Structure 1
Amino acid sequence: MANGAETGPGLILPQDTFAKLTPRPYLLAHLKHKTPVRPNGRQQNEFRQPTINTGSLTHSNGSAVVRVGDTAVVCGVRGEILLASDIPHPPSDDLDDQDLVEELGLVVANLELSTGCSPAHIPGNPPTSLAQSLSYRISSLLNDSHCINAADLCITYTQPKTEDDLPDEPPKEVTKAYWTLYIDILCLALDGNAFDAAWLAVTAALRDTTLPKAWWDPDRESILCSPVVDDSTSLRLSALPLASTFAVFTTASPLEKREEAQSWILADPDGFEEDICDETLTVVLSSVPSSDSGAETILKIEKTGGAFIGRDVTDLCVRQAAKRTSDLNTALDNR
């Protein structure tokens, strides 16, 4: 080529193409920039703001639609009556009320991922274990948090006194049936952090749930329900646990020591970040409704993969989760 000859134009590719071809260097370049920012435009400790709508499903006892970024989840709560006489092994009298819900399986949660909710869930692709894992985590958290008052699920009957009863003996109250809550969760769109969005939808739907007035009719020997909406009662939630998930992105390679590697804690990871982060931490904080103290307690901490999250990082995540929990409670109150 002669001196001074013009060279052809350089090859210019869209950022999305670079992200697909070299995802780790692409994310690393954003985090090591002189003004670090994630590819999605958020700071390291910045969560996506949720949008919460309740009462969207008219044929359920409670419902909620939650959108967090491009992750959208709909949740419906349906109450069905379980007769005490249909229970093969009735619970013992000394069973704690909080354990009664788990013992009888009065709260049943199931999560499904809709077809096309993400590139990994399209027709022809084999099903993944993600939906099963999320269903198990949500069911476990419902039982561990004891957020549902067992007394709200009991349908009792006060037996009239007989001639054999002592005059000073109070009337005997027996449980004739229980409300069983079926919590159905459908992920319409998935762009990372499905658990936080699904659990937020469950919490909002439970806060929206009302159960009809039900009583035992001794003449018909069956449970009757009032059709009057004003007779319905809301669930009394004894705790409001909320989840905050963090992901760890690190430059560590199989031959590199942990001390020599750099790492970043990313709050509320999206789908792109989840695919290239090997370690996650979920902090679940519980706060008492209508509490003036505003204090949260650690209910559960779940960690998966990697070895970069230690005590210092966990403390940092808990502090960030506490602020996130406060913001979510405000969003739930203003829904």
Structure 2
Amino acid sequence: MVELIELSKTYQSKNKTVHAVDNISLKIENGEIFGIVGYSGAGKSSLLRCINMLEKPTSGQVLIDGTDITKLSLPDLRRLRQSIGMIFQHFNLIANRTVAGNIAYPMEVAGKSKAEIANRTAELLELVELSDKANVYPAQLSGGQKQRVGIARALANDPKLLLCDEATSALDPKTTRSILNLLKRINQQLGISIVLITHEMEVVKEICHRVAIMSEGKIVETGTAFQIFANPQEEITKGFVNSVLDIQLPAHLLTDKGDNKQLIKVVFKGKEAEEPIIDSMLRNFSVKANFLHARIDYIQDTPMGVFVLELAGDLAERERAIAFLDRETAGTEVIPYVS
């Protein structure tokens, strides 16, 4: 387990103190994928680098399996870092080494035997599906392949913890999905804890178990990935969630249609997203519904649905129908027409 206790990191810049990490306390459980989300300058990278002491915290503690690594001697810290792998946004591969050579490098530094290095390199090449690229140089690889090499290199010394610094932000959407699937498989098969920093909520939706939202050096909200998407509390969190789930209806659909119609947004969470609640409403109340938007996302295999419909009928029936939806779903919202 990783535990941060009142962790701070400050920098001096042109007579100004910058609080990159500001008194953060956080627990990351063994075997989970933990996302740290924030805009550029929020302090995400500084926080991540404090976890493996690439940045020395100004104050506070970093506990890994109960050991405060801020108090370790340099030799002990070097040994501990062998149990922490790191994946970088821009890959950081050694240009004059082959794929196999890049993967082998951390094991060479750790003093492993040639036989150990050869066996482990072959295992990792198979794991990241690059066995046919062992003798190829980085310049001959695609971005996704380079990141697979970076992941294999990070796993070379059998780490307990994997730190990912914007590991997919330099990749196209299709390649991003393949890398996230690989990280998910590594987490499930090897039980490795993963801390992943990102500004992309699609990444969080696809892979993270729990999430912390970071702003101006502070953690402003934490929760499971589903909690964060289904019920964001802070405005910055709502902004991140809306970047993935926001509904933008064309102007003509928002034009006032008269007194007997209104637009309704309905949110479903969990099992209710798979229940025929809308069908029940239409059968039990004298209203008609025109669907303008419908979407169901799966966050850690739990469904969350957002529907927008135009509800038609007399006012009393519409109010009864909306009250029914309020009771049976996660909530409704009336979207005002534009005159």
TM-score (norm 2): 0.22
**TM-score of the aligned structures, taking structure 1 as reference length:** 0.22
Q: Which structure has the highest helix share of the two? A: 2
> Which structure is larger by alpha-carbon Rg, 1 or 2?
1
